[in-house]
Amino acid sequence: MYLRLLVLVLLLTGCTAQQDKPAPATTTTTTTTDSAEPRPKRREARVAGGLALSYVQAETAAQMLCRPIMPDYQLNEAFGVKRLSYHPVAKLTIIPHCEVVDYDYGKTFEMTLEFPDPKLAARTETVKGDRVVVTTPIAQFLPTSARVQRPVLSATARPGQKEFMLRYLEHLVVQLSKQTDELPPIGPDGSFPFTETPLTPETIIDLPKPVQALQLCTLVRKEFGFEPVKVLDRAACTVREPDGGSLTITLQTHTIDMRPYTSRVGGRPAMVDPGGMWHVRLRDDVPLDLVMPPGHVNVMERLVKALTQK
């Protein structure tokens, strides 16, 4: 009897010890990824058309491509759709791009503005793989600005969406081709004479690049007394400093990813690119930078404050 009780006690003790033994710790692996790069959104940009449109910054051009051609209530009669969504983006920071989507019926096509092709005098239609590509000029070509000006509209769709795209383009090309701004006479090297052009800080981001350059030159001369010596159609102004040196200031479309902008200049996010140039982001909703060489912090700060005033 005593032996049976002893065995029972030992068994119960073993079970209790087994139950009290802590379970192995569970290891949870957490994978972290960088946040996705933000997508640009539609905004109410200053309207540009014709030759002026072919010279605006890439993000502004994308906004013009994505500007609705008519109110939603007219879409059903014109295209047989209830609503359209527009997605602007400056691909690779320099290519204006817009995707037009009808989510109800799955219709979609894409548009870009391209560099000029001297051989293109009228609309052309080609097939590239499983896509139909339609190109048409929306402004005259200026051979002197071959790598700055984008006067060609290119639209791409699958064959089944071709008719929808063509009907849409009939309306859009009329809208895009309307000239909105007078531009200076641009020479063979992309330069043109300086003429005083007062700063318009609320709209400079959407102006044609030659006009942006004129406003930059005017601003620098007003703020510092530096004389403009060269104005270029790529939104660049070169001025002569008092010591005889030259300083070039430009406005450039850049990445929408703000992670590299870890510094501040004039209260705005800033960074130094691999070439040593300073970039200062002028607005939160537009990927446009004031770009200057190093060693001019005071100049940058004053220009940023002037360009971002409201």
Q: Please give the residue range of the domain that contains residue 62.
A: 50-177
| CATH number of the domain residue 228 falls in | 3.40.1000
- Tell me which residues of the chain have a pLDDT lower than 70: 1-40, 90-93, 118-121, 145-146
pLDDT of residue 7: 38
Q: Looking at the structure, tell me whether residues 294 and 210 fall in a common domain.
A: yes
168 and 70 part of one domain: yes
Domain boundary among 177, 193, 225: 177
Whether residue 232 lies inside any domain: the answer is: yes
The reported pLDDT for the residue numbered 123 is 81
- 259 occurs within a structural domain: yes
64-79 pLDDT per residue, tens = 999 999 998 898 888 8
- pTM comes to 0.84
The CA-to-CA distance between both ends of the chain, in Å, stands at 98
Structural domains counted in the chain: 2
In this structure, how many other beta carbons lie within 10 angstroms of the beta carbon of residue 234? 17
- Residue-level pLDDT at 21: 35
Residue 120, pLDDT score: 64
